[in-house]
Amino acid sequence: MAKLRGNSKGNTRNESGGGDGFWDRPMLINLLADVLLLVGGGLLAWAGAMALQRLPVFPLKQLVVATPLDQVSRAQIEYTARNALAGNFFTVDLDTAQAAFERMPWVRSASLRRLWPDGIELELEEHRAVARWTAQDGEARLVGMYGEVFVASTREALPMFVGPEGSAPRVLARYREFSDSLAAIGHQQVAIRLSAREAWQLKLDDGVVLELGRDQPKHPLAERLHRFTTHYAAVSGAARNRLQTVGVVDMRYPNGFALRASKS
């Protein structure tokens, strides 16, 4: 007897596949639509921003410098502005422009803000040089009143600071401390040096060099300098002239000092 064979394959497809396709899942379709909507909106916003930046609307027409300047020239500001202030009133990158202005010589800090409807207001804080610092890579460097070392040059008569890299704030602090003591005898420093071994040396405006040595708890630098100023104030004019001839005063002794000829 012949056996009857039905189309079981077709029946299986109908039973297992019905309702499981992507188009039969509303949640997946809605999720995909939301993703496409977000991506499309982001691309549209980006394209709009790029188009707005290129359109000749809200152009920058003026740069207002709100602080008086002594060292930075108008030509330097104009050159930096042409390269740093790109875009229009809304799209200009103020952070990038600020960094560009702060790279200018003599500029300690810069601040920018939008000035409606077509301007930028610029405030610059200039360094106030108090000393010269050792040159590096052929570039002249100065020390500001807060101890920063910056690349710049000046014809102003300034004392010379010498020390390891990074020690400028310490040298400046000592310079101010020593200046107060030396003012009592009518002298000032023209150079101050901190060696790699932490030894201090001063050169006065009359050519005398003071070897103070290293700061020690039992014999601090202030005590040694006070010993010098006390004896200097007590000697006569003839003795002071002899001191200038000797050239070097070695104050590294605990209870006295020694005079010796200058090496230079």
- Residue-wise pLDDT for 60-75, tens only, equals 999 999 999 999 999 9
Question: In terms of C-beta density within 10 A (0-12 exposed, 13-18 middle, 19 or more buried), how is residue 181 classed?
Answer: middle
Q: Which one, of 218, 220, 207, lies nearest residue 263 by Cα?
A: 207
Superfamily name with CATH number, domain 62-126: membrane protein fhac (3.10.20.310)
Q: Going residue by residue through the chain, which has 264 residues, state the pLDDT in tens, using 9 for 90 and above.
A: 333 344 444 444 444 445 567 666 777 777 777 777 887 787 877 766 666 556 567 789 999 999 999 999 999 999 999 999 988 888 899 999 999 999 999 999 999 999 999 999 999 999 999 999 988 888 899 999 999 999 999 999 999 999 999 999 999 999 999 999 999 999 999 999 999 999 999 999 988 999 999 999 888 999 999 999 998 888 766 666 666 677 889 999 888 888 877 665
CATH code given to domain 129-261:
3.40.50.11690
Residue 103 identity: R
pTM above 0.75, yes or no: no
C-alpha dihedral (47, 49, 54, 59), degrees to nearest 10 = 170
For CATH 3.40.50.11690, list the domain ranges present in the chain.
129-261
Report CA 227 to chain centroid distance, whole Å. Answer: 39
- Cite the residue boundaries of each domain of the chain with CATH code 3.10.20.310: 62-126
